[in-house]
Amino acid sequence: MLETVLGLYNYWIVIVLMMAGFYTVIVRGNLVKKVVGLNIFQTSVFLLYITMGTVEGGTAPIVDAGADLYTNPLPSVLILTAIVVGIATTALGLALTVRIRESYGTLEEDEIIEIEDRMDGEV
């Protein structure tokens, strides 16, 4: 039991982060906090990939005469791409947040919904 918990500690970290991020996205009403939650959620996935590529005792995957066991470089490379995607998403999300704040004067979801309901009623 202890071994399951400690031996797979990296996965536990991933799961905790993932759930924290997911919870933030779903529950928080503030649009910026949602973006932050989304970021945490994505980061947990990055960690998932990177830890799965690690080989115990392996070194960084740089060809060197002294090393004969390397960490799998592929997940890291993949995650590099995913990080770029994540940054783009964050940037776009925040840019939208700015524009929403300009249009609605608020970043709280319930207030925005209230304003939108009024807009629907007006027409």
Partner 1 sequence: MPLVQNLPALQVVLPLVAAPLCLFLRAPRLAWLFALAVSAAAFAIAVSLTVSVTEVGAFTYAMGGWAAPWGIEYVIDPLDSFILCLVTGIATLVLLYAGPSVEAEVPHRLIPAFYVLFLLCLTGLLGMVATGDAFNLFVFLEISSLSTYALVAMGRDPRAQTAAYRYLILGTLGATFYLIGVGLLYMMTGTLNMEDLARRIPAVADTRTISVAIAFLAVGLALKLALFPLHKWLPGAYTHAPSAVTAFLAATATKVAIYVLVRIFFTVLGPIEAFQTLPAAVHETQVVGVLAIIAMLSGSAVAIFQPNLKRLLAYSSLAQIGYMVLGISMVSVTGMTAGLVHMVNHAMMKGALFMALGAVVLRIGSPRIERLDGIGARMPVTMAAFLIAALSLIGVPGTSGFVSKLYLVRAALEDQHWIMAAAVIVSSLLAIVYVWRIVEVAYMRSPPADARPVREAPLVMLAPLWVLALANVYFGLETTWTVGLAEDAAGFILTYVPGEGPLSEHPALEELLEGVNGGGHGPAAEEGAH
Point out which residues bind partner 1 (CB under 8 A): 7-8, 22, 25, 31, 34, 38, 41-42, 45, 48-49, 52-55, 61, 63, 65, 68-75, 78, 81-82, 85, 88-89, 92-93, 96-97, 99-100, 103-104, 112, 116, 119, 123
- Which residue type does 53 have? G
Instruction: Tell me whether residue 21 is exposed, middle or buried, using C-beta atoms within 10 angstroms of its C-beta: 0 to 12, 13 to 18, 19 or more.
Output: buried
Provide, rounded to whole angstroms, the least separation between the CB of residue 43 and partner 1.
10
Q: Residue 29: how many CA atoms within 13 Å on its side-chain side?
A: 8
Distance CA 120, CA 110 (A): 15
Q: Which is nearer to partner 1, 20 or 53 (CB)?
A: 53
Cα 62 vs. chain centroid, distance in angstroms? 28
Provide, rounded to whole angstroms, the least separation between the CB of residue 85 and partner 1.
5
Provide, rounded to whole angstroms, the least separation between the CB of residue 68 and partner 1.
6
- Which residue type does 84 have? V
Provide, rounded to whole angstroms, the least separation between the CB of residue 96 and partner 1.
5
